[in-house]
Structure 1
């Protein structure tokens, strides 16, 4: 095994806290010069993508359909002509190895055959009617089999179109059923565009809005308590206030960078939340990379609620949240049928026939245990390749692996909380490395130096990244 960190033997990052400046030991003038050279090479190689971006600027804000797409390195993003498996071809005809995979949305690979067949068949039978199809119950049973085994008793599910929606609905239910107003989140967390999670700690330890929070509806300290990941004492103090409805967390941080739980930490979270009468909500949207049942199954967790999204539809929008039977019974008992459609939970297109058909095929035929075995093996190959480069050139960085996902970061040691992960970031250095990978036909997740494997990812795909990373690292340290 490499010097990087993989899954713990048992239960033990998108924008995060404000960036704290460059920390990597590289020459900044050389970095700027290399970035200019890479930008020139990128522009020269993609004239058709540049033309498409210029045309898009007339009617699209930022020139892209969703603002995050503007964050890719270079003066314009690639435009995709077609995608299949672990690769895509841009408008200029260049084939790229995709290690971003739609920031987990395409963890099944692009256009998985079984999902595509199910979607095509269902589209001909109708896409949405605000009525259930038989696929919905099959999807729920499959999710229960994956996430409701072992100590977990999650067995009742509802479907949404995104994990953001699922998290919002869960927090509404938690407040309604507990009669409490606040939510605990981890410093450096990300749970989609859930307002309560756009909070961090300032230097004095006060809860404040995270940098870049747009149009916050209320001061975050009215809705949210923030604690460091891996700090059970801080969580206990937050829960002692007596007004916490739920603790919303990833079992391992991913969107600020991969931060793994220390031994015993997640057991402490379960114990503390149960004693305080607060819900333990596990967001597996990204940590599904740990295996077919995410970290919940891999680490034997016992949450009150599980949220999962993105991946389970094979690229078609769908997400879900599952609760224990007791919570489901209370929801049915305490939400009046007459007002069930106006309480802030649900959506007209949630649970639509097309999404549920895609989820059934994806869960049963694409994201199988055998598929995860291969994906994790490729992530280990990627981790070992990056570590080998770091050792060869003497860069004081580290690599961390979480199942089928892995990441390198600009610090000697893996962080134990979100603040440490945020402090290790270096945006100009990150942009350079992503740009150099793109020039060599490799796409990484734009928010971090993270790679994700899909069932179609091959040795050659991983090795192309290792070669590109080795060239970029050698240029930095020459």
Structure 2
């Protein structure tokens, strides 16, 4: 129903507008092309719309200001990393105080005890360890699972996302396991390390685990990075029953689904994972992550974790669990991501979903809005039930135009898909600002 020529024409106009609005970012982007590969310090930063990267100057609460002095309502929040809001004073104070007293010593700080107890309280798993990122945590957990079970493979969901873990960059091509499009230099063919099953298909999971070579199933309780794909009624219960029946450890990655509540979907939906990974927002923007485990798993790992050669076991890192990260986690979890915070953020996501759905209905488009806790997004199709269907529905031209349209009107969306994330620092007016920009974009597209 959307004229492709119209998309291209509007995109060209918006690109010109973007360039006119951001001369300082353009100059910095030009300077960065020499010393920085791809002109940015991390390649994902090239995913934003616009002819060149947008350079930011300050971020506080739910606002971001770029180097040209333009302010944005930030609905990206660092792709979950700043889900608490930016520049939290209590986290800033804790970081400054800790930095003045030392950061990295290879020794635990007193904050470690508080952090461990809080993670137990929120997620229900009795034993925890720290990591620098959720990617690292997932790597460590997969290694533990292979060690404990003696099985060589891990299982993931088709079109899943668990950071830059080699074994998880896999999808299905028919019945064959192949590298996910875009994956660079896999160390071995992923078919040798990984089993892949479709989300929301318990029968497929049962058939694959019955082979007997899978150590663990690593999954998000709802897919997020291919867009929000929610579990169908009874599916997660079936996953837990099937994994237990075949002696497969269930690992739940809550790094994005923490948006479901203070204890993520695990607490909100009563899940019972053997291991759990969480990262990104728990440190208020400071790089850190954590992984927890059941008492049974912890008991089986206690010997190796106290072994003389644990430093070469492929688990941990010199800066992991440093005092700065622990101080940041304590300051964040003691004041943020609480029930009272979600009581503000979730209704804002509901308002976003209702507003966008109304615009879509008025336009007569067969699109859909999906929500998980304080995260919401829109689709260019009816709601998919698995990752492959979600991937097939991606429309990069249309998505790019809508993102750039909103950015040029002061609303920053996550560059991956059409996702908006809400914090207690957002307001109903922020939500309505996006709804108005979205409505204007559709009106321009359909005129």
TM value normalised by structure 1: 0.93
Cα separation, 1, equivalents of 2:106 and 2:355: 48
1:435 deviates by 0.4
Question: Where does the alignment leave 5 or more consecutive residues of structure 1 unmatched?
Answer: 1-24, 149-153
1:71 deviates by 1.1
Q: Give the aligned partner of residue 210 of structure 1.
A: 180
Q: Give the aligned partner of residue 26 of structure 1.
A: 2
Q: Give the aligned partner of residue 214 of structure 2.
A: 244
For the structure 1 residues 61 and 48, does the alpha-carbon distance in structure 2 shift closer, same or farther, using more than 3 Å as the test? same
1:334 deviates by 3.7
Runs of 4+ residues over 6 Å off in structure 1: none
1:137 deviates by 1.4
| Residues 329-377 of structure 1: CA deviation (Å, up to 9, x unaligned) | 2111245621100010001001000000000110011222100110101
1:103 deviates by 0.5
SS at match of 1:89: strand
Q: Give the aligned partner of residue 12 of structure 1.
A: none
| Residues 414-460 of structure 1: CA deviation (Å, up to 9, x unaligned) | 11100111111100111000000010011111110000001201111
Q: Give the aligned partner of residue 283 of structure 1.
A: 253
Q: Give the aligned partner of residue 383 of structure 2.
A: 414
Q: Give the aligned partner of residue 42 of structure 2.
A: 66
SS at match of 2:312: coil
SS at match of 1:399: strand
Aligned residue pairs, count: 447
Cα separation, 1, equivalents of 2:368 and 2:214: 36
Cα separation, 1, equivalents of 2:356 and 2:92: 34
Over aligned residue pairs, what C-alpha RMSD do you find? 0.8
Work out whether 1:200 is the aligned partner of 2:171: yes
Cα separation, 1, equivalents of 2:212 and 2:363: 52
Cα separation, 2, equivalents of 1:47 and 1:95: 15
The equivalences for 1:214-293 within 5 A come to 214-293=184-263
SS at match of 1:365: coil
Cα separation, 2, equivalents of 1:395 and 1:45: 31
Question: Where does the alignment leave 5 or more consecutive residues of structure 2 unmatched?
Answer: none
Cα separation, 1, equivalents of 2:31 and 2:427: 35
| Residues 228-282 of structure 1: CA deviation (Å, up to 9, x unaligned) | 0000000001110111100000000000010000011000110011111110000
Greater mean alpha carbon deviation, residues 74-83 or residues 312-321:
74-83
Q: Give the aligned partner of residue 21 of structure 1.
A: none
Work out whether 1:179 is the aligned partner of 2:150: yes
For the structure 1 residues 113 and 335, does the alpha-carbon distance in structure 2 shift closer, same or farther, using more than 3 Å as the test? closer
Q: Give the aligned partner of residue 18 of structure 1.
A: none
Work out whether 1:314 is the aligned partner of 2:284: yes
Q: Give the aligned partner of residue 7 of structure 1.
A: none
Cα separation, 2, equivalents of 1:311 and 1:35: 33
The equivalences for 1:28-107 within 5 A come to 28-107=4-83
TM value normalised by structure 2: 0.99
Q: Give the aligned partner of residue 353 of structure 1.
A: 323
| Kept after mapping to 2: 8 A contact 1:292/1:368 | yes
Cα separation, 1, equivalents of 2:335 and 2:48: 32
SS at match of 1:366: coil
| Kept after mapping to 2: 8 A contact 1:114/1:366 | no
| Residues 85-137 of structure 1: CA deviation (Å, up to 9, x unaligned) | 00110011100011011100000110112111111111111111111001111
Q: Give the aligned partner of residue 411 of structure 2.
A: 442
Work out whether 1:466 is the aligned partner of 2:435: yes
Cα separation, 1, equivalents of 2:213 and 2:136: 23
Q: Give the aligned partner of residue 372 of structure 1.
A: 342
Cα separation, 2, equivalents of 1:177 and 1:115: 37
2:354 to 365, 384, 393: 384
Cα separation, 1, equivalents of 2:302 and 2:188: 30
Work out whether 1:108 is the aligned partner of 2:84: yes
| Residues 165-224 of structure 1: CA deviation (Å, up to 9, x unaligned) | 00000000000011001011000100000111100011x321011101100000111100
Cα separation, 1, equivalents of 2:305 and 2:214: 21
For the structure 1 residues 147 and 336, does the alpha-carbon distance in structure 2 shift closer, same or farther, using more than 3 Å as the test? closer
SS at match of 2:308: helix
Cα separation, 1, equivalents of 2:5 and 2:129: 53
Cα separation, 1, equivalents of 2:146 and 2:5: 52
Cα separation, 2, equivalents of 1:42 and 1:395: 27
The equivalences for 1:318-337 within 5 A come to 318-335=288-305, 337=307
SS at match of 2:345: helix
Q: Which has the higher contact order (CA 8 A, sep 6+)?
A: 1
